[in-house]
Structure 1
Amino acid sequence: MNLPTNALVAVVDGENLRLFRNTGTATDVQLKGIETPALEERVSGSAGRISSDANPDNDTQAEDGHAMSVAEALNGWALKNKFDKLVVIAAPKTMGELRKHWHKEVEGAIIGEITKTLTNASPEDIIKSIEAA
């Protein structure tokens, strides 16, 4: 996948968010880390999930809440025109939760999704995953 200059890359899992901008070109991607927005702390994400024998602790709810907070932050950025193009790289479960909360402006800006856990990866490894997509 080609990544346009100034495109935003969000790398997310159930606990972390890392944001990057492409300061290079579409064919020579250079990712520069940028400050992440303050996220609203949520106890749970989408309605309908309740802890039970199949879900004995609140980890899943906390991860869903984090994904919902990330989606809300990116929705706000999109509405303020802080990015035109977005690539989302997220852990599989997190990606599913993010998709439930995207505003139509974010949906329109997404040029790629990579369902993979890369929050601890180096920018070089993230670039390799983008180029391979």
Structure 2
Amino acid sequence: MHGKKIKSWIAIADSAKARIYATSGPGLKLTLVNELDSEAARRLTQELVSDKPGRSFASASSRRSSMEPHSDPQSIEKHKFVKDLVGYLDAAALKGKFDDLFLVAAPRTLGEIRKLSNGHIGSRVRAELGKDLTNIPEPELPKHLEGLDIGKQPLGS
């Protein structure tokens, strides 16, 4: 007995770029749905901040010291990118654009996606792969994704 054709999305991401592919059925014929990129998240911290840290006077003396930022600007940009990616996937899930979601991301990015995913994508995540494939050319992706059972009916369906 044949069930309905499953539309799967595969999100391949790191902390600064993502490619989202769609596929239906076996064979891993990938169709690019969208590419997301954050130039700011790829910049070095020193490129994101001004030339020198600000200066402050100690209240008890006239001595000045530099003020370091409380958080790393590059980390903030990376977090914003992953948050935007999760928001995009969540909105697409809400609109029913895919049935299953396969997450393929650098391990740290995958962990952040998990933390931020409290919406509609959680129940659709079928498998995860903690590997950075963002620089793998599209024609080579299927061999890296073979073990994820993309396009196959889940057991009990």
1:79 to 75, 82, 94: 94
1:98 to 105, 113, 137: 113
Alpha-carbon distance between aligned partners in 1 of 2:76 and 2:104, rounded to the nearest angstrom: 20
Q: How much has 1:6 moved relative to structure 2?
A: 2.6
Q: How much has 1:101 moved relative to structure 2?
A: 1.4
Query: Which runs of 5 or more structure 1 residues have no equivalent in the other structure?
Result: 43-49, 52-56
For normalisation by structure 1, the TM-score amounts to 0.74
The verdict on how the C-alpha distance between 1:14 and 1:38 changes in structure 2, with shifts beyond 3 A counting, is: closer
1:125 paired residue number: 140
Kindly report structure 1 stretches of 4+ aligned residues shifted beyond 2 Å: 35-39, 123-126
> Percent sequence identity over matched residues?
25
The amino acid that maps onto 1:10 is: A
2:14 paired residue number: 13
8 Å contact from structure 1 (residues 9, 20) kept in 2: yes
8 Å contact from structure 1 (residues 37, 73) kept in 2: no
Alpha-carbon distance between aligned partners in 2 of 1:102 and 1:75, rounded to the nearest angstrom: 8
Alpha-carbon distance between aligned partners in 2 of 1:90 and 1:37, rounded to the nearest angstrom: 14
Query: Which runs of 5 or more structure 2 residues have no equivalent in the other structure?
Result: 42-69, 149-157
1:30 paired residue number: 29
Alignment size in residue pairs = 115
Alpha-carbon distance between aligned partners in 2 of 1:37 and 1:61, rounded to the nearest angstrom: 17
Alpha-carbon distance between aligned partners in 2 of 1:128 and 1:17, rounded to the nearest angstrom: 19
